Amino acid sequence: MHYGPRAFLSIQAKRRDPFAQLLVGPRRGIEPYPAIERIRGRGRVVHTPFAWVTADHEICRTILRDNRFIASPPEELDLPRPLPWVLSKTDPKITNPVEPPSMLMIDPPEHTRHRHAVARTFTPRAIGQLHGRVEQLTDQLLDELAAKQRPDLIRDFALQLPAAVISEILGMPEEHRPQMLEWGESGAPLLDLGLSWRTFQRAMAGLRSADDYLSAHIERLRAAPGDNLLSELVANDELSKRELMSTASLLIGAGFETTVNLIGAGFVLLAAHPDQLAMLRADPTRWPAAVDEILRFDSPVQMTARTAGCDIELAGKRIPEGAMIVPLIGGANRDPGVFADPDIFDISRSNAKEHLSFGSGIHSCLGASLARMEGAIALQALFDRFPDLRLDGQPKRRALVTLRGYDSLPVTLAPSD
C-alpha cells in the first residue's frame, strides 16, 4: 500500500489525532510542543493511524539502540511509505541522503562497514584540527556581518558558517558554496512526511544537480587530492563511488541545516534569557553546557523513524513486524521524568547532555563533536563581538517538522543612538 500522506493526515488532523496535527496541523513546524504533550498524555507508546509514536525518553533511546528496529525498511514488507520516498525511487540513480546506500538508511552489516570507513577519516583528532579554522571562519563572517546594512542572523551568519565548514570538509571551492546552500535549502523538506508536490519537485531538482556535481567532484579529488576529509575517504578506497557520493550528500544533508538551526535557536534563546547570557559572560567555561541545553530545549532534529524488523514488545504494547515507529526526539528532550521543569531553559541544568538530539546507538550523529564545537565557537564569538546584539523584528520559523529552525532573524548589532 503506497499513498501520499498529506490528504490522509489532514483528515486525521481534523479528527484531532495529535501526531497528524504535529505533521500537518495549522501550527505545523511552528509550535510542536503542545501536540507532543498531547501524545505524551496518551501513553508511553502511542498507536496512531499513520505510525507508532513516542515522546518517552527511555523508549526513544531503547528504539534507537535496539537493532531489531531497522533503518532500512525491507522492500518485501509492503509498507505505507510517504509519496516522496516512493517517487524518488522513480529515479533510483540519484543519490539521495534519505535512501540507501546513505549510511543513515542502512543496517548492519553494511552500515558497520560503511560507517567505519567514514569514521576512520572523521576522527576526534581530525575534528579537533578544525577548531582553529572554525574560529577563523567565524571571525571573518562576523566582520562581514558588521558591515551589513540590515543584518539577518540566519542569512548572513548562521547559514554561512556550517556551509563553509562542510565545503572545506568536502574540498569544495568557495565559489561553489552558494550551490551547496541551495541544495541544503531545497533538500531539507525531504525529511518531512507531509510535503507539497512543488516542494518535492524542487528538492529532487536539487538532488539531481548535487548528484552531477558530486560525481565530477569525486573524480577531481581522485586525480588531485586536497587536504580534506573527502579526499582522504576517496584515497582510502573502501567505499564504492556511489557510497562516496552518498556520504558526501549525507554530510551536506545531515551536517549543514542542523548546525544552522543550533546557532539560530541558540541566539534566540540567549537573547530572550539575559540572565543566562550574563552567566556565560561571567564564566565562559559554561559555553559547552549551554550548547547542550540549547540542543535539549529546541532540538534541531525533532524526530526520526524506524521499522520493526519483527514483532517487538515495547512498554506493554506489541509493535508488529513492518510497523513504522517514530521516536520524537524533541519530545524525549522534554520528558519530565528525566529533565526537571523541562520547559524551562536553564544552562546550569546538570543533565542537559542526556538529550537525544544527536540520536543514540549505531546511527548516532557522526558529526556531534563538530556541531558542538561550531555552536559554541559561533555563539560565544557572536555575543562577545556584539554585546548589544538583539532581535530587530519578528523571527520567522521554517515551517518544517523534522528539522526545526529559523528562516530569518533580523537583528540590530549595536544601539542606534
Q: Which is nearer to ligand HEM, 48 or 304 (CB)?
A: 304
Report if residue 357 touches ligand HEM, rule: CB under 6 A.
yes
Question: Three cell numbers at 245?
Answer: 557520493
- Other C-beta atoms closer than 10 Å to the C-beta of 92 total 9
Q: Which is nearer to ligand HEM, 81 or 115 (CB)?
A: 115
Among 13, 191, 248, 250, binds ligand HEM (CB under 6 A): 250
CB of 205 to ligand HEM, least distance (A): 24
Q: Which is nearer to ligand HEM, 111 or 349 (CB)?
A: 111
- Other C-beta atoms closer than 10 Å to the C-beta of 150 total 10
Among 300, 331, 342, 395, binds ligand HEM (CB under 6 A): 300
Report if residue 268 touches ligand HEM, rule: CB under 6 A.
no
Measure the CA–CA gap between 351 and 126, rounded to whole angstroms: 28
Report if residue 214 touches ligand HEM, rule: CB under 6 A.
no
Measure the CA–CA gap between 221 and 291, rounded to whole angstroms: 34
Residue 284, helix vs strand vs coil: helix
19 in Cβ contact with 40 (< 8 Å): no
Instruction: Please list every residue from 93 through 122 that binds ligand HEM, using CB under 6 A.
Output: 103-104, 115
Report if residue 260 touches ligand HEM, rule: CB under 6 A.
no
Among 204, 371, 379, 413, binds ligand HEM (CB under 6 A): 371
Q: Which is nearer to ligand HEM, 5 or 300 (CB)?
A: 300
Report if residue 370 touches ligand HEM, rule: CB under 6 A.
yes
DSSP sequence for 87-135: HHTTSTTS--TTSTTSGGG--TTHHHHHHHHHHTTS-HHHHHHTHHHHH
Among 21, 259, 276, 302, binds ligand HEM (CB under 6 A): 259
Among residues 67, 10, 26, 133, the alpha carbon closest in space to that of 306 is found at 67
Report if residue 127 touches ligand HEM, rule: CB under 6 A.
no
* Distance of alpha carbon 254 from the chain centroid: 5
Which residue has its beta carbon closest to ligand HEM?
A: 367
Measure the CA–CA gap between 409 and 158, rounded to whole angstroms: 10
Q: Which is nearer to ligand HEM, 160 or 304 (CB)?
A: 304
Hey, CA dihedral for 291, 297, 302, 304, is it positive or negative? positive
Contacts of 41-45 with C-beta under 8 Å, sequence gap 24+, read 42/18, 43/315, 44/315, 45/314, 45/315, 45/316, 45/317, 45/319, 45/325
Instruction: Please list every residue from 160 through 199 that binds ligand HEM, using CB under 6 A.
Output: 166
CB of 371 to ligand HEM, least distance (A): 3
Residue range at the interface with ligand HEM (CB under 6 A); choices 150-158, 213-221, 342-350, 366-374: 366-374
Q: Which is nearer to ligand HEM, 119 or 205 (CB)?
A: 119
Residue range at the interface with ligand HEM (CB under 6 A); choices 184-192, 266-274, 365-373, 376-384: 365-373
Measure the CA–CA gap between 308 and 322, rounded to whole angstroms: 5
Q: Which is nearer to ligand HEM, 2 or 116 (CB)?
A: 116
Instruction: Please list every residue from 36 through 95 that binds ligand HEM, using CB under 6 A.
Output: 64
DSSP 77: S
Report if residue 304 touches ligand HEM, rule: CB under 6 A.
yes
Beta-ladder partners of 54:
327
Question: Three cell numbers at 300?
Answer: 534541531
Q: What does DSSP say about strands 52-54 and 324-327: parallel, antiparallel, or unpaired?
A: parallel
CB of 146 to ligand HEM, least distance (A): 25
List residues binding ligand HEM (CB under 6 A): 64, 103-104, 115, 166, 250-251, 254-255, 258-259, 262, 300-301, 304, 357-359, 363, 365-367, 370-371
